[in-house]
Amino acid sequence: MENPQSTASIAGHPIHPMLVTIPIACFVGTLLTDIAYWRTAEMTWANFSAWLLTVGVIVAILAAIAGLTDFLGDRKIRAQPTAWLHMGGNLVVLVLSFFNMLVHTRDAWTSVVPTGLILSALVVIILIFTGWLGWALVYRHHVGVADEAT
């Protein structure tokens, strides 16, 4: 049986896993810079958080488009309950991060404490779960993995 294939790919390389690393790094970085701002009240950290969120949300939208293309492009992917959880969890991450981006447009302290910090922590917790699901899709269900040559 052939492995479920990535529809959104460049030269056989799936786009979604290439893109997701950027928002993951940005959203984890946002949590770290929010914590730094909370502990120091140094405005630079709040600014870093706002920039990280903006870049993270923009690239997450692109990754979501590639992931949705893969999801809709192969019925074998849609047949995986793990794929539905992965997609749903990442949509929650995107929505929470978008609202967190709006929260971070406020003045310094209110942009981070407590709402921004809570949203950042929730996003990272959900990312741990959805990242594990993404790993399972590739390594257990072989989504987007080329079949071995015989």
pLDDT per position in the chain (150 positions), as tens?
Answer: 688 888 999 988 899 999 999 999 999 999 999 999 999 999 999 999 999 999 999 999 999 999 999 999 999 999 999 999 999 999 999 999 999 999 999 987 899 999 999 999 999 999 999 999 999 999 999 888 876 544
What count of Cα atoms within 13 Å lies in the side-chain half-sphere of residue 14? 26
Residue 1: the pLDDT is 60
Residue 109: the pLDDT is 87
Residue 149: the pLDDT is 46
> What pTM, to 2 d.p., does this model score?
0.93
Residue 127: the pLDDT is 98
CA distances (Å), 115 to each of 57, 118, 140, in order? Answer: 18, 5, 37
Pick the closest to residue 53 from 95, 90, 97 (CA basis).
Answer: 97
Q: How far apart, in whole angstroms, are the C-alpha atoms of residue 70 and residue 77? A: 8
* Contact status, residue 4 vs residue 76, Cβ threshold 8 Å: yes
Residue 68: the pLDDT is 97
Residue 12: the pLDDT is 84
